[in-house]
Amino acid sequence: MTQPALNNMPDGNNEPDGNILDYLAHDLEDKKRAESGAKAERIKAEELLLSLSHLQRHPQASGSKTTKGARYSVTVKDEQKARFVGDNDEGRAQLWEVLSAAGIAQDDMPIKVTYSIDVKKLDAIKNNNLDLYTKLVTEAGIERYAAKPSVSIKSIES
């Protein structure tokens, strides 16, 4: 890891003076602020570019359109998405019922089911039934891995 550039510390000092935690947290806070600002500016630039009439999109369109300028080629990709209004099981069940009643085969239903593993419940199985856990890992192909750590910082008011 490269040493971050010294910024003005919250106490006005330019040296970390032994409190490396505060120094690094302050540096991270600065980087997050810069990232948020850059994201907001990027979104503004995209919106301005999309406001050009020849890049206008149709609200119901999907696909991509490329427009070439003198120095740049700009591709606008449109994608349509759909979601359930609200997050309720009743709507999902009703969707299955309506499609099944219409004779739509399960493979042709406009539903994508994704599975995710509840790590806390998997750990409970590991703690309560190690044989079952071992079977899940070996036969069901479950792999444990370290996710990207989440770092949050909060300024401590004195």
pLDDT at 1: 44
Chain segment 34-93, per-residue pLDDT in tens = 999 999 998 888 888 878 766 666 655 667 778 888 888 888 777 767 776 655 677 777
**Residue 54 and residue 20: Cα distance in Å, rounded?**
52
Alpha helices, H only, 17-129 = 20-50, 89-101, 119-128
pLDDT at 60: 59
pLDDT at 14: 58
**Which phi and psi angles does 89 have, rounded to 5°?**
-70, -30
Chain segment 104-113, per-residue pLDDT in tens = 888 888 888 7
Q: Which residues pair with 76 in a beta bridge?
A: 65
Torsion of CA 105, 107, 113, 117, to 10 degrees: 120
